[in-house]
Structures are given as C-alpha cells and as structure tokens.
Amino acid sequence: MFSACLMKIKKEGIQTEHKTLISDADMKKLYKSNVFDTTTPRTLQQMVFFEIMMFFCNRGRQNLRNMKPTDFQICADSEGRRYVGSNVSRLTKNHREAIGDHDNTAARMYEKPGNPACPVSSFEKYISKLNPACEFL
C-alpha cells in the first residue's frame, strides 16, 4: 500500500523526501566519543534521550518532554533477554491509533550484555539518578 501511494504521489508530480538513516559508522562514532559517556549526568541524559528517541519516538523529540519514568518498564522476553518497553501508547501525526498493551509490534529497547553502551543499563542508571520530586524524565 505504501509503495502504491508513493507511485500515485509521484505521478501527480509531488516530490517526497525521506530523511536518511543514521549510518552504522556514524552510530559507532557517537558511542565511541564522549558524547554518550555514562559517568557524567549530562552525557548520561544525552545517551538515554537519544536511545529513547531511536527506539520509541518515531518523530524525534515529539512527546519526549512529557515522558515519565513510569511510562517504561524493564521486562524479559521468552528467551530471558531483558528490554525496556513502553507502557504508554502515544498518538502522533502519523500514528493516530493507539497500540494495545499486548501488541507484538510495540517497540523494545534490548540490552547488550557486557557492552558498556548497553541501553538498558544506561536507562536503569539514569532512572536511579532522577530526583524523586520530579515526575518527568
């Protein structure tokens, strides 16, 4: 259906421009630099926010400001692999229908055991450092 719509738009003379994905080489640069260092508050927050946007926010920073620690939970799949999952369905410009709690298409941020850039470990560390009086990430 998506391809058919793109062809129809193309025939009508409307140009579509998609953003390019972040290349693997650029991702490696980010994680090897000190931009995502988990030993300082600022860079830990940068890493966690980047990973949340990568895995859960299909429109970048949309909804990021209103996210709360309770919007996420750490679970394990049937193979015992841990992941961070979202408890909240967010409606966006492109996604108008809420995803059910038991939907298999829900986004998951899986752990990378032994990797210092493990997104689950950085998420857990970030959550543990938050001020309890602040309800937002």
pLDDT in tens, 109-130: 999 999 988 999 999 999 999 9
15 is a domain residue: no
5 is a domain residue: no
Domain count of the fold of the chain: 1
pLDDT at 22: 86
pLDDT in tens, 16-61: 677 778 899 999 999 998 899 899 999 999 999 999 988 887 666 7
Q: What b/e string do you get for 97-118 counting C-beta neighbours within 10 Å, with b at 16 or more?
A: eebeeeeeeeeebebeeeeebb
Q: Which tokens go with 110?
A: 């899986």
53 is a domain residue: yes
Q: What's the whole-model pTM score?
A: 0.73
4 is a domain residue: no
